Amino acid sequence: MNDQHILKARRNYNRWVANQTLEDYALRFTAKSARQWSSSRVANTALGAISFLALEAIGGALMLKFGFSNALAAILVVSAIIFICAAPISYYAARYGVDIDLLTRGAGFGYIGSTITSLIYASFTFIFFAIEAAIMASALELLFAIPLSIGYLISAVVVIPLVTHGITFISRFQLWSQPIWVVLQLLPFVFILWHESTSIDDWTHFQGKQQQSAGFDLHLFGAAAGYYSP
């Protein structure tokens, strides 16, 4: 009988798959023994997933272009639609321990269909990270005079240890960094309220570049909703 020869690359791959810290059940059924996270920890991780810099840029662009009333209405309506669509998906994913790839496969898309949806999501993630890196590189240039090319490299390299160790490591990182993020998010509003409270009234009555008259405009609301939709 011939001895089976296992290549080093295959041995390394099997070791990575067996490492739950790296894999985190991302593309397979999650056993009940592994579902040990508390609601607060899940909420903390979910909050970190939506705390990206592009949100501030999108919200600011909506307000400047379509005005406060239209932008606020569009954000509330689209957020409600997202919540209604995501609620059953999140419920069944949490109850049966499956991710979106397995859900799409079970919903009738098949193996090829779920692979295509994963590819679409991955391409969106690449674009998303590129936008985040561009924002971070611009901030590094403004604060520390670091050239944009070097800033892009720093932003790309720093995130690698986070994404390679799965959602568990990201959750731990967010657990201690979340309070800092919350303080930095609220600090500008506190500063404005303390030093120039009249700016709040100007903000809520801002019409935007596209609006010709004050108040709500259905066409601009529709444009803002399409702009805000993922």
Confidence of residue 76 (pLDDT cuts 50, 70, 90): very high
Higher pLDDT: 126 or 82? It is 82
Summarised one tens digit per residue, pLDDT across range 198-229 is: 888 888 888 887 776 667 888 888 888 887 65
Q: What whole-number distance in Å separates Cα of residue 167 and Cα of residue 45?
A: 8
Instruction: Find the mean pLDDT for residues 165-172.
Output: 69
Cα–Cα dist 124/131, whole Å: 11
Dump pLDDT digits (tens) for 110-162: 666 667 777 777 787 788 778 888 888 998 999 899 999 899 999 888 877 77
Is pLDDT of 20 > 60? no
pLDDT in the model for residue 182? 83
Q: Determine the Cα–Cα distance for residues 202 and 68; give it in Å rounded to an integer.
A: 10
For residue 69, give every residue at least 6 positions away whose Cβ sits within 8 Å of its Cβ, in sequence order, or none: 215, 216, 217
Q: Do the Cβ atoms of 224 and 70 come closer than 8 Å?
A: yes
pLDDT at position 150: 93
- Model confidence band, residue 80 (pLDDT cutoffs 50, 70, 90): very high
Distance CA 71, CA 66 (A): 6
pLDDT at position 18: 60
Out of 1-5, 123-127, 169-173, the most confident range is: 123-127
Mean pLDDT of the chain: 77
One DSSP character per residue, 6-41 reads --HHHHHHHHHHH-HHHHTTTTSPPPGGG----HHH
User: 25-29, 39-43, 196-200: lowest mean pLDDT where?
Assistant: 25-29
CA-CA-CA-CA torsion sign (179, 185, 186, 191): positive
pLDDT on residue 2: 52
